[in-house]
Chain A
Amino acid sequence: MTAPSACQLFVGTSGYSYGEWIDAGFYPDGTHSSNMLEAYTQIFHTTELNYTWYQMPKAPAIERMCAKVPKHFKFAAKLTRTMTHEIKTGEWQKQVLLYRQGIAPLLRWEKLLCILIQLPPYFRRTVHFRQYLARLLDALSGLPVAVEFRHDSWAKDTVFSELERRHVTLVSVDVPALPGLFPRLDVITNPELFYIRFHGRNAKGWRSGIMQKQFDYDYADQALKEWVTTLQTAMMPQARSGAAFFNNHVRGQAPKNAVRLMDLLLTEGSRQKSWTAPSSI
């Protein structure tokens, strides 16, 4: 794999509409939910669309969202749960078609960073699930796709080489070191895009079933510095673009850590003001 000359890195958060980020100081006091995306784009140039996991995206709503953001802004859209967590045999193909229709404005507006397939922990590397994943990736062909595994049975070279063959991005995850979880890796399977998700390392809260505990984690500088080294030495030289999303949204830790990562990537400690950093490098 030849090293592309320059890598464009997008740093952002998983979702942007959190009321508690006002209390955390990320959004100014009195910010209405309807104005959060606009405020978010002042700091970051990318975000993950979480709601598309809960609900099939609807083209008119996505269209309105595209119109709200600056030209350079990109969205990573989660694949809807009916294709990842609640798969119904014989029905999911229709869901893929609906999804394609729903996100069509993202393609038209050139705002799609990639489709994020977040698979559940019980999605193990069995024949059944391998076949399903292959068929799903076939159905999504033509779209930029990133796959996030939550089970360590997928941490196999054969899986990585198949993803590489398909030009599908393997999502690198930063999660607590718990048995069964997909390990922290820096494997690049798609030279067009690498993708990192920072979920936090809250081992105690990870399996609590409560989001506010699972993703309650504040990355220390040391942990972020290690990632900066990995990014600069192992990942960025191998890809044309990359994305790093912080999912530790509780108490505004995600945007805080994301900005800090950008700070460290540029010139460590050179920045004085928070929340003014550009998200693309």
Chain B
Amino acid sequence: MDRAIIHLNIADFAVAVETNRQPALKGYPLVIAPQGAPRAVVYDMSNEAYRQGIRKGMPLTRARRLNQKIKILPPSFNRYERVMKDLIKETMTFTPLIESGTSDGHIFLDVTGSGRLFGPSVDVAFKLKKAFKKTCNLDPIWSVATNKLVAKVATRMVKPAGEYIVGPGEEKAFLGPLPLLLIPGLGKTALTRLKDFNLFWVFQARALTLEQLHVPFDHRAPVIYDRIRGIDPTPVTARCESHSTIRADHEFADDTNTANLLKKALYPMIESICHTLRSRNLTGAAAQMILTYSDGLQTAATVKLAPATANDMAMFKKCIPLLNKAWTRRIRIRHMRLICKKISSPQVQADLFASRTKETKQADLIRSMDRIREKFGRQSIRTGLTLTNTPPYQ
């Protein structure tokens, strides 16, 4: 049976969320970018700004040159994530198979199995569009196709508004007359290679056999061969973190690449996670760091926390190398997320002849701090790392 995949895409998601808060900005050129950072780049822009030549990732100074009076708003990732969560909540009524980014306005749904319960996929997509409009005042582009690739191309075709239904069996005919750069998964390198052969359109590239594609693309040839034919067997998989994780976020007022600032921001995040763990009598055995840069790109790294811990200081010690591991770009960092994973109950059996180690002393100290905070508030006692502007960690 053919799959029924719905793609919902809120064009210029960050702009849509911001203009919902400030409706007076609707219809005007608008850019979302951190203003304080010297080499800030455009994170998102309105359709009006796009028409003036402004693009994502463009240096803000250049965008300003294109339109000196352009309105610029700082990005608010937490807000975008909250809205995304609300949208996903709406979609969960129809299927558990939902794939989305954290704050990009893209949602894929696999409704193959829920037809008998909720009706044809086209109707589900239409209902979701109406629900998004009603609950969040956001108007998504929607498409229905038999796989993610075709569904994504279909929404690209009608951006910034509209819908596209690609019937089963129509994939090849639908993609044929389109430019190759619209096909997801064909990166810059692949497109340049195809351009070298004077291939700009999907139907032109299809003339090449798999063997011929092997010459310029080697092991990537089968993927490219399938993609230009609208074949995409990848399933819709939930990419959001499972419920068994605890996370903390920090968004920098101004994008930064100062190591000490990052480390200083990291400690309260760890405190927050460990406090949650301790209050639930749990420990975490792994941590993941996700860094979001000025240009919107992300890098991530994971580390094992052995032994599993809920100790602020022990976790901080492990997370400093984790930060360095995740920090692979020279671009300024805008947002930092720490996710504690593999959460489980701590070993109940205590060591019979345990002596007081540095760790046990630290644990006692943290317990005392917790008690003080419970009584007098969170800010009543803090570590030196988070108190002053002096570098907390050398």
Contacts from A to B (Cβ < 8 Å): 15, 17-20, 22-23, 30, 32-35, 50-51, 54-55, 60-61, 64, 210-212, 251
Q: B165, A33: Cβ atoms under 8 Å?
A: no
Q: Tell me the minimal C-beta distance from B337 to chain A in angstroms.
A: 38
Q: Which of chain B's residues have a CB closer than 8 A to the CB of A20?
A: 115-116
Q: B167, A33: Cβ atoms under 8 Å?
A: yes
In-complex Cβ contact of B2 among A23, A33, A55, A210 (8 A): A33
Smallest CB-CB A-B distances: 5 pairs: A34-B169, A33-B168, A211-B119, A33-B2, A34-B168
Complexed CA–CA distance, A33 and B116 (Å): 15
Q: Does B50 contact A (CB under 8 A)?
A: no
Q: B115, A60: Cβ atoms under 8 Å?
A: no
Q: Tell me the minimal C-beta distance from B90 to chain A in angstroms.
A: 14
CB within 8 Å of A: which B83-124 residues:
112, 115-120, 122-123
In-complex Cβ contact of B1 among A15, A22, A54, A61 (8 A): A22
Q: Tell me the minimal C-beta distance from A133 to chain B in angstroms.
A: 23
In-complex Cβ contact of A51 among B118, B122, B169 (8 A): B122
Q: Tell me the minimal C-beta distance from A261 to chain B in angstroms.
A: 23
CB within 8 Å of A: which B120-166 residues:
120, 122-123, 125-126, 146, 163-165
Residue of chain A at shortest CB distance from B119? A211
Q: Which of chain A's residues have a CB closer than 8 A to the CB of B122?
A: 50-51, 54-55
Among B4, B123, B146, the most chain A Cβ lie within 10 Å of the Cβ of: B123
Main secondary structure of the interface of A (DSSP, over half): helix
Residue of chain A at shortest CB distance from B166? A61
Q: Tell me the minimal C-beta distance from A35 to chain B in angstroms.
A: 8
Complexed CA–CA distance, A30 and B168 (Å): 14
Q: A18, B115: Cβ atoms under 8 Å?
A: yes
Complexed CA–CA distance, A34 and B4 (Å): 12
Contacts from B to A (Cβ < 8 Å): 1-2, 4, 112, 115-120, 122-123, 125-126, 146, 163-165, 167-170, 173
Offer 19 A-B interface pairs, CB within 8 angstroms, sorted by A: A15-B120, A17-B168, A22-B1, A33-B169, A34-B2, A34-B168, A34-B169, A34-B170, A50-B122, A51-B122, A51-B167, A54-B126, A54-B163, A54-B165, A61-B167, A61-B173, A64-B170, A211-B119, A211-B120
Q: Which of chain A's residues have a CB closer than 8 A to the CB of B165?
A: 51, 54-55
Q: Tell me the minimal C-beta distance from A121 to chain B in angstroms.
A: 16
Q: Which of chain B's residues have a CB closer than 8 A to the CB of A22?
A: 1
Complexed CA–CA distance, A33 and B1 (Å): 7
In-complex Cβ contact of A34 among B115, B117, B167 (8 A): B167
Complexed CA–CA distance, A18 and B163 (Å): 20
Q: A19, B1: Cβ atoms under 8 Å?
A: yes
Q: Tell me the minimal C-beta distance from A60 to chain B in angstroms.
A: 7
Q: Tell me the minimal C-beta distance from B172 to chain A in angstroms.
A: 10
Q: Tell me the minimal C-beta distance from A262 to chain B in angstroms.
A: 24
Q: Tell me the minimal C-beta distance from B2 to chain A in angstroms.
A: 4
Q: Which of chain A's residues have a CB closer than 8 A to the CB of B167?
A: 17, 33-34, 51, 61
Q: B118, A212: Cβ atoms under 8 Å?
A: yes
In-complex Cβ contact of A18 among B117, B120, B169 (8 A): B120
Q: Tell me the minimal C-beta distance from A52 to chain B in angstroms.
A: 10
Among B118, B165, B169, B173, the most chain A Cβ lie within 10 Å of the Cβ of: B169
Q: A60, B163: Cβ atoms under 8 Å?
A: no
Complexed CA–CA distance, A212 and B167 (Å): 21
Q: B119, A60: Cβ atoms under 8 Å?
A: no
In-complex Cβ contact of A64 among B1, B125, B163, B173 (8 A): B173
Q: Tell me the minimal C-beta distance from B118 to chain A in angstroms.
A: 6
Complexed CA–CA distance, A23 and B1 (Å): 11
In-complex Cβ contact of B117 among A50, A64, A212 (8 A): A212
Q: Which of chain A's residues have a CB closer than 8 A to the CB of B169?
A: 32-35
Residue of chain B at shortest CB distance from A33? B168
Residue of chain A at shortest CB distance from B168? A33
Q: B146, A33: Cβ atoms under 8 Å?
A: yes
Complexed CA–CA distance, A33 and B169 (Å): 8
Complexed CA–CA distance, A30 and B1 (Å): 6
Q: Which of chain B's residues have a CB closer than 8 A to the CB of A19?
A: 1, 4, 112, 115-116
Q: Tell me the minimal C-beta distance from A28 to chain B in angstroms.
A: 12
Q: Which of chain B's residues have a CB closer than 8 A to the CB of A54?
A: 122-123, 125-126, 163, 165
Q: Tell me the minimal C-beta distance from B197 to chain A in angstroms.
A: 27
Q: Tell me the minimal C-beta distance from A12 to chain B in angstroms.
A: 17
Q: Tell me the minimal C-beta distance from B53 to chain A in angstroms.
A: 28
Q: A210, B119: Cβ atoms under 8 Å?
A: yes
In addition to A20-B116, A51-B167, 6 A-B residue pairs with Cβ atoms within 8 Å of each other are A18-B115, A23-B116, A33-B169, A51-B165, A55-B163, A211-B120
Q: Which of chain A's residues have a CB closer than 8 A to the CB of B119?
A: 210-212
